[in-house]
Structure 1
């Protein structure tokens, strides 16, 4: 049987090989791939693609000299703009706009050459940058929406290799420390690597078959989940397999027993994660909705590999894979006073005190969420400062009195003149220019009097949307506004779905209502505390200027779904002990003692894999990785070990209410001895 499983895996990987390498080819990181499906700005982006020439790539060339631009600087700028216009098809003749202080000259430039082809867009931006060169004190930066998209795409494209290698290295290091074996750590790591390869092929198939959005963010999270969750499942299985090898002689039989023992917990834990991630399909935000299926693919492929390929390899390698700590048949492990036994003892002595103290601590930490910085602006989304961001910052300093990136309005062609007039009369609008027409639509380009993504520009966008009935208002600033509003809407829809789906799975597994409610309440408290810690460090320590609008929803989904995993491992073992007739307090402490080490190891691995994101050059990924890593550590070392155990000890059998385990066992009544019969003598 192990050889058959190995052969089937080789065949599956051979079939998947041509498709796994194509995932990067279909990865899309355009604004429309992240925007809300129903938002105005999304409609603008989609209609722009259908206009003559297709989607326009917007750029702004920024010429700046601290002491003021010279005549030679202006001549250099004019000559470079002429070369760019001669080499590329521009939507309009570029017109220079000088700043009031004379230090800066900006040239808005737009071209429909690339259309929706991201590689062509990047080639155009890089070609413009090659032409636009400064020197001698003159700085030239190329910014604008198109340049910013190119810089972001470069970052996302660079994530794949470093993210994969860094994650694999972190997992390898932790497995070496956990297993203390020169060989054993290689087996789950190799299986996780093959799982990631297969997951990429399946993700490609989803895109081709169902049009699932694949972005740099979602594919990166899929890699993290495969290694993090997959390694967690491997740790639980290997730990149980080691136990069974001490009491069962044949490795094959020991593995069968291990799969029967921990299989239900692993299946339930992966089911909660998959169910939680699939709830993201209800999100209106394209990036969130696309992350649901890809994350689910990562979880299910990792589960499939860890319950098939990993057992087969371990059985084929035999007991020697554990060298030098080989579990001999009939041997008894050394009994040591473990950290988790000590934690369990303290929770067992004063469960209410521990429970109240932990709840107060989590509540206090959660208050830090009020210190989270405001919504993240586009130029603040990078941990470093690419050229497009430098250009936007220079524009903000030189043109504080006006907008420097266009607000796009798409209006029906037969109403274009009236829309143009209404737009010009709208408060906060500096100028309006008529653009392309086609397919029944006309594009207008509006310049606001306020700086990009400021309160004034936001008010202008909202005023335009109120006044221009039947038209769509989009552009970079409108997109950011729609992202914020849609994330708020998605939280109201997705959060209850996640809680309900996870709760139903826990009820089915644990045959109880009380235990699932405890676990769900615990992970929600962990999420609040982790966000609070983020609020305490994002601005003061990391220097971040804002918080990604999607942080709350994504961190909630991942922490609730992944955090419940450890609760399942603990409560499932507690239920096993209770079914054996073990007294409730003893069952709770035994479950902690036997699973505490595995849960701690799994938590460290998962936290470390998400912590890899904190080394990425994008602020949204850093924030997401930090909150999830901190939340997993809180869940592992505080909530599971102390709070859930304390609650179980305090409630005793009531934790399994209304299941059969919640009732006191009936004490058998010994049969009455027959009364002696007196026989009279005759």
Structure 2
């Protein structure tokens, strides 16, 4: 079927390109701005069934002012000495002046002696904002506040920094926007340079950039349309991730095609016949590899955590568009360019003799047992790091240190009790006016609960039927210890109170505790769902039950080795408090899906060599000789594109990029090129059980 399809694409190449041009122009012109459908508020992605989400919803109804936003302004001396009386007067006058500015959406700002830190070095001011945190005018209000403060306190020896939910959101948007530009530039440079080096041709270098750029524009537009029509939100880190995913796997698929195309040209075929052949052979691997990636990403639909499930439609749609382009647009362009794709190089016309891959293939074929054991020992050793894994839920600290909201939080933590930067809220919702004595008992009990530094008196709602008790934690609100205290003893104490009605624990730490629970649940669901879907695809592709099991065990071990290595790297060698909480799921999806891509390329070649009548060891030898260049090139490019995330300055993207790069390197260079062929040689014909491994022609 693919042979006939390839002949069709080659014959109607201009029609294919014209169709893509017209369809792409229409989709891009009709789509809304994708930024209008992005959200970085982790709490808003939490299902309403979780306690913190329910607490937030009911609190907005009982305390309307709690639904409004605020900005926390942190003042300190530039020399870090205690504030003098003159400094405090200047701060008060500055806050009074802020109120006089009548900035749109700023209801008012207050400060005073009671907002001075225990060490006297920091004074706070709180500006109340009308509107929701994500409203454009609310974000503009924070910009205006920052601008006023910069002008007012310039040269006074007093420095200021504004934080709070709106300020963090504003800085996050700016940081991710800058990150997207960095990732885009680095990724395109990598894709221009590496294929150019591999094929010694500038034209071969530009083919992935042109093709994938078209797919990226169309995918973004389709996503924006889908988000508008089906009313769903997209994660803020999506654009940076999409650049890496599409340019990474898109370039991989193009390389799969180019290597097969070059191989056929070397045997004497003309351009159109070689393109048709390349599509019939590489097309099967591309189609199956893309299906595996789509299946792995589809497993994210089963996530309860919205920030993960929101990635599913975006990644599925984008990879689907890339798959269609790889099987239609790219071959059509290749049929038009022809052998000029390798210009000006002439060396491509003959295969290199005595290559390293040929020597490696021969060694693996002679000693498959030794090779398999050596690679397995290395991967198992790297996997040991998972026993030290700890999740980090402090999203704000993932931003660069020079970001204003992060500087403000650091000053807060240095001068106030650690829990003061983000108090926990215990809400009591009753149908009748609440009993003050019982509320007092709850406050006293909370004050004596493990993990609590102190508790403020209950604040009643206007109708007296609801109360908000502010709890200051002893630990850093985003620390693992604080999450455990809130999810455990603090909630236990609150729920045990003898007060009619509903008692809920909310706030940032409670939200993170619920996110941790949701993440653990999602991991237990997504892993088996993705594995099951991938197994079905592999079984159909390879017409075997044994081979898919071996391949899944290999990528599972690569996943464990990747997470273990990342843990050693960031929390052992580095000083990170933990790994970004959703990294295990992201790693699983990307490493398993993309690692299986390379295994598919290797396995289809193993089956092809087996069909040619080679015994298992010779088939492994020939597969390594002919496929390793493709896998190595694809692995280097994809690992390089993910590595570009490490240059963004955003720790969660840096962790994600470096970790996925490690996983891709392990999957490509060890698992696909070495381990899979050696195990197939070791297992022999049983590797293809229950079939013989012969492909249908």
Aligned pairs (5 A) from 1:530-549: 530-549=562-581
2:9 corresponds in structure 1 to none
Q: Secondary structure at the match of 1:545?
A: coil
Instruction: Output the CA distance in 1 between the equivalents of 2:353 and 2:215.
Output: 36
CA distance, structure 1, for counterparts of residue 206 and residue 392 of structure 2: 43
Q: Which digits, 9 at most, give the CA deviation of each residue in 1:548-571, with x for residues without a partner?
A: 111111111110011000000010
1:344 aligns with 2:361: yes
CA distance in 1, matches of 2:191, 2:318: 16
1:2 equivalent in alignment to 2:22: no
What is the TM-score when the length of structure 1 is the normalising length? 0.90
Residue 16 of structure 1: how far off its partner (Å): 1.7
The one of 22, 36, 48 equivalent to 2:33 is 22
SS in structure 2 at match of 1:185: helix
What's the offset of the Cα at 1:228?
A: 0.5
1:650 aligns with 2:682: yes
Task: Please name the residue that 1:63 is paired with.
Answer: 75
Counterpart position of 1:430: 455
Question: Within 2, Cα distance between the matches of 1:404 and 1:205?
Answer: 39
- From the superposition, tell whether residues 91 and 340 of structure 1 become closer, same or farther in structure 2 (CA, over 3 Å): same
Q: Which residue of 2 aligns with 1:389?
A: 406
The answer (yes or no) to whether the contact 2:426–2:506 under 8 Å persists in 1 is yes
CA contact (8 A) 2:162 2:404 kept: yes
Residue 13 of structure 1 and its aligned partner are, at CA, apart by 1.3
Change (3 A) 1:119 1:31: farther
Deviations, residues 35-71 of structure 1 (Å, cap 9, x unaligned): 4554333334455666746832233222224332222
Is the aligned partner of 1:128 residue 2:145?
Answer: yes
Q: Which moved more, 1:579-588 or 1:539-548?
A: 539-548
CA distance in 1, matches of 2:117, 2:692: 78
Offset from partner CA, 1:203-251 (integer Å, 9 cap, x none): 1122112223212212321221110001100001111122233446442
After TM superposition, give the deviation of residue 414 of structure 1 in Å: 3.0
Q: Which residue of 2 aligns with 1:550?
A: 582
Q: Which structure has the larger Rg over C-alpha atoms?
A: 1
Q: CA deviation at 1:511?
A: 1.1
- Match of 1:670? none
Query: What is the 5 A alignment of 1:503-652?
Result: 503-652=535-684
What per-residue deviation string (whole Å, max 9, x for no partner) do you get for residues 187-214 of structure 1?
A: 2220011111111011112211222321
Task: Please tell me whether the aligned partners of residues 41 and 479 of structure 1 are also in contact (alpha carbons under 8 angstroms).
Answer: yes
**CA–CA separation in structure 2 for the residues paired with 1:8 and 1:402:** 59
Residue by residue over 1:523-565, the C-alpha shift from the partner in whole angstroms, topping out at 9 and shown as x without a partner, is: 1111111222222221354432321111111111110011000
Aligned to 1:105: 123
The DSSP-based 3-state class of the residue aligned with 1:538 is helix
Deviation readout 1:355-396 (Å, 9 max, x if unpaired): 111111111111233444552424531243422222222222
- State the SS of the aligned residue for 2:160: strand
Q: 1:323 to 1:412 in 2, by over 3 A?
A: same
Query: Structure 1: how far apart are the matches of 2:228 and 2:645?
Result: 28
Q: Is the 8 A contact 1:142 1:388 kept in 2?
A: yes
1:181 aligns with: 201
CA distance in 2, matches of 1:37, 1:159: 31
Residue in 2 that maps onto 1:444: 468
CA distance in 1, matches of 2:467, 2:179: 35
Change beyond 3 A, Cα 1:165–1:314: same
- Which residue, 297, 301, 305 being the options, matches 2:321? 301
Q: Contact (CA 8 Å) 1:544, 1:619: kept in 2 or not?
A: no
Question: Is structure 2 residue 44 aligned with structure 1 residue 43?
Answer: no
Structure 2: tracts of 5 or more residues without a match: 1-11, 496-500
Cα distance, 1:129 vs structure 2: 2.1
Provide the rounded CA distance (Å) in 2 between the counterparts of 1:20 and 1:295.
Answer: 18
Distance in 2 separating the partners of 1:229 and 1:290: 20
Distance (whole Å) between structure 2 residues aligned to residue 513 and residue 147 of structure 1: 54
Q: 1:90 to 1:444 in 2, by over 3 A?
A: farther
Distance, in Å, in 2 between the alignment partners of 1:525 and 1:46 is 42
* Alpha-carbon shift at residue 604 of structure 1 (Å): 0.7
Distance 1:245 1:327, change over 3 A: farther
Structure 1 stretches lacking a partner, 5+ long:
663-682
Give the superposition deviation at 1:280: 0.6
Which moves more between the two structures, 268-277 or 476-485?
A: 476-485
8 Å Cα contact 2:133-2:165 kept in structure 1: no
- Residues 660/540 of structure 1: CA separation in 2 closer, same or farther (3 Å cut): closer
Query: Which is worse superposed, 646-655 or 89-98?
Result: 89-98
Instruction: Look up the match of 2:4.
Output: none
Range with greater deviation from structure 2 (418-427 or 23-32)? 418-427
Residues 598 and 672 in structure 2, CA contact (< 8 A), matched pair in contact too:
yes
The normalised TM-score by structure 2 is 0.88
Q: How many residues align?
A: 658
Does the Cα contact within 8 Å between 1:223 and 1:298 map onto a contact in 2? no
Q: 1:258 aligns with which of 278, 301, 308?
A: 278
Question: Using a 3 Å threshold, how does the CA distance of structure 1 residues 198 and 482 change in structure 2: closer, same or farther?
Answer: same
Question: Are 2:187 and 1:167 aligned?
Answer: yes
Whether the 8 Å contact between 1:241 and 1:255 is mirrored in structure 2 is: yes
Once the two structures are TM-superposed, the CA of residue 15 in structure 1 deviates from its matched residue by: 0.7
* Aligned-pair Cα RMSD in Å: 2.8
Equivalent of 1:281 in 301, 304, 317: 301
CA distance in 2, matches of 1:449, 1:249: 73
In structure 2, the CA distance between the partners of 1:608 and 1:94, relative to structure 1 (3 Å rule), is same
Q: Secondary structure at the match of 1:59?
A: strand
Is 2:164 the partner of 1:144? yes
Match of 2:229 among 209, 216, 235: 209
Counterpart-to-counterpart distance in 2, 1:340 and 1:19: 49
2: CA distance, partners of 1:115 / 1:81:
22
CA-to-aligned-CA distance 1:82-133 (integer Å, 9 cap, x gap): 334453554896554222232222234432x232534223212222223335
Report the secondary structure of 2:505's partner residue: strand
Identify if the C-alpha distance between structure 1 residues 420 and 578 changes in structure 2 by more than 3 Å, giving closer, same or farther.
Answer: same
2:266/2:351 contact within 8 Å kept: no
The 1:308–1:456 alpha-carbon spacing in structure 2 relative to 1, beyond 3 Å, is closer
Shift of 1:77: 2.1
Contact 1:148 1:388 in 2 (8 A): yes
Residue 600 (structure 1) shift: 0.7
- For the 8 Å contact 2:31–2:225, the answer to whether it is kept is no
Contact 1:157–1:216 (8 Å) recurs in 2: no
Q: Is the 8 A contact 1:404 1:451 kept in 2?
A: no
Quote the Cα distance in structure 2 between the aligned partners of 1:437 and 1:158: 44
Quickly say closer, same or farther: Cα 1:255–1:49, change in 2 above 3 A. farther
Larger mean Cα displacement after TM superposition, 134-143 or 387-396: 134-143
Secondary structure of residue in 2 paired with 1:184 = helix
